[in-house]
Structure 1
Amino acid sequence: MKQDLTDQELAELDDLLAAAPAPLQPLDIVMLDGYLCGVLVQPELLDESRWMPPIFDVEQRPLPEDADAQWLERCQALIRRRYEALNRALAEDGGFDPVLLDAESDGEDEEGAEAEPEVPLSEYEQQAIDDAKALQESLPEASRPLMPWVAGFEHAVHSFPGLLDSSDESVDLTLARIFRHLPVQTDEDREMLATLDQELPLADVDEAVDDLIMAVAELWDLTSDQRYAVQQVRRDTPKVGRNDPCPCGSGKKFKQCHGKD
């Protein structure tokens, strides 16, 4: 059985994703973790060929043909291991350990000084960071460390809208418990958030993390019957009788040609 990623491998994967060729905008390690959970709780069992590409660009642009093969192979191997570990944890334990921002660091190093970027940021990149920080600060304190993770989860939900198309009210309510950690966009969202704050208040970050884990596990359970349902085989053409002409065109009866026992 393959092991989950170590802290060192998570940091390595974060660096590898950041090295995606320009102009692609890949997920970081926290968003990736939320995205993978969003993939795993889909009502449809998604093939890797579908869920892997959106990791490397939020706009789902394809990787360039000349992308480094060794870089891509290492990225995919680490991503695959985290995917399998999350799936195993949800199936066997009914929970998982999410990769989240450190709520106490707030972008500072151990001495309390703000970390300096190794490479100067462009005006566009700096503005994007400032905008994201402003959105994060608009959230309740308990939700701030969870926002990037939930943004990754949202990326999966919008990339594969099976959950959004669900008519199950339990799915809608459970999704709301996850999306409460994103900035409010509509009056409907605001009303839902007010209801959640009243009926399911979150006192601190620990409670918020616990509820997030439970909500994802509940979604996994709610969709598991659909996800692993055995699809009935449907024939595109009528079944050939043993005494009918063989479809191969030989002129023989089916039982004397391709229908021989």
Structure 2
Amino acid sequence: MSTPNTDLTDAEFAELDELLATTPAPLQALDASMLDGYLCGVLVQPRQIEIDEWLPNIFDYDGGQLPDAADPVWHARIQALVERRYKALNRAMVENGWFDPVVLDMDDPSNTEPAAGEEEDPVYAAMTPISRALLPWVAGFQHACLCFPELSEMPDDAVMAALARLYRHLPAETPEEKEIVATLDREHPLKDLDDAIEELVVTVADLRDLTEEHRYKVETLRREGPKVGRNDPCPCGSGRKYKQCHGSN
């Protein structure tokens, strides 16, 4: 039996995917693979992001908001499943430095070929089968970085290099993007999908380590002015001692 502290089963991942697919039009919700990448993108940000801030973004890739009339039971079930996966990913990263990402099955033609009657995008067609399989997950990760740009704006070359290792699996459209992908393919070739998944997970773990100090940094609160003793005159100007005036609350 599933509990709030367990990861999702295969059946629950399938259920979540189906629930997200019924998001009211015209919203375009993330699918299960994109959602998984999105959650990892949230977890490695240089600040802790609360669920009320990151949850709405899963229901529309372009930032649309759910209508007030959305089914509350449907919404609650999605939130319960998503929150369990979020906690499981966080726990796996902290305890093991590893997690199992939800990626497409390359052996399923429906995942890598255009739908009937649709022409294949030439940019997508130029991608390797490995990148096609990882594309939804990485697109979800990028979605998190667009919603919360703090990670991408960090002045850290190591962070930028890690992001490039992930974004090599996105369609390269500009000459600069194509050059980066070509350089990575030449200097860090991927043998197969398992090798690519291992690199993806290690890269996310690297990002988590690079941002950990920022994420858990506690700022010391500074007092504006000297401390008022209980027997000192109250700063409000009443003429009474602080303990008998505002200090009595």
Q: TM-score, length-normalised on structure 2?
A: 0.89
Q: Which runs of 5+ in 1 are unaligned?
A: 109-113, 118-125
Counterpart selection for 1:83 from 74, 83, 86: 86
Q: Distance in 2 between matches of 1:239 and 1:27?
A: 52
Q: Residue 234 of structure 2 aligns with which residue? A: 245
Alpha-carbon distance in 2 for matches of 1:134, 1:99: 26
**Selected match of 2:156 from 161, 168, 171:** 168
1:147 aligns with 2:150: no
The one-letter code sitting in structure 2 at the alignment partner of 1:245 is: C
Letter of the structure 1 residue corresponding to residue 63 of structure 2: Q
State how far apart, in whole Å, the 2-side matches of 1:91 and 1:31 are. Answer: 22
Q: Which residue of 1 aligns with 2:247?
A: 259
**Structure 1 ranges of 4+ moved more than 6 A:** none
The answer as to 2:103 corresponding to 1:100 is yes
1:68 is aligned to 71
Residues 38 and 154 in structure 1, CA contact (< 8 A), matched pair in contact too: yes
Following superposition, the deviation at residue 238 of structure 1 comes to 2.9
Identity percentage of aligned residues: 50
Are positions 1:158 and 2:161 aligned together?
no
Cα-Cα RMSD = 2.3
Q: Which amino acid aligns with 1:214?
A: V
User: For 1:4, which of 1, 4, 7 is the aligned residue?
Assistant: 7
Once the two structures are TM-superposed, the CA of residue 244 in structure 1 deviates from its matched residue by 3.6
Equivalent position SS for 2:129:
coil
User: Could you tell which deviates more after superposition, 201-210 or 174-183?
Assistant: 201-210
Asked if 1:53 corresponds to 2:72, the answer is: no
Count of aligned pairs: 242
Alpha-carbon shift at residue 197 of structure 1 (Å):
1.5
Q: TM-score, normalised by structure 1?
A: 0.85
Contact 1:96/1:213 (CA < 8 Å) preserved in 2?
Answer: yes
2:25 to 22, 30, 33: 22
Give the Å deviation of 1:239: 4.5
- Residue 226 of structure 1 aligns to which amino acid in structure 2? H
* CA distance, structure 2, for counterparts of residue 135 and residue 66 of structure 1: 39
Deviation at 1:195? 1.9
Corresponding letter in the other structure for 1:218: D
Q: Which amino acid aligns with 1:141?
A: P
Worse overlay, 185-194 or 138-147 = 185-194
For 1:26-45, what aligned pairs fall within 5 Å after superposition?
A: 26-45=29-48
State the Cα distance separating 1:194 from its structure 2 match. Answer: 2.1
In structure 2, what residue type is equivalent to 1:206? D
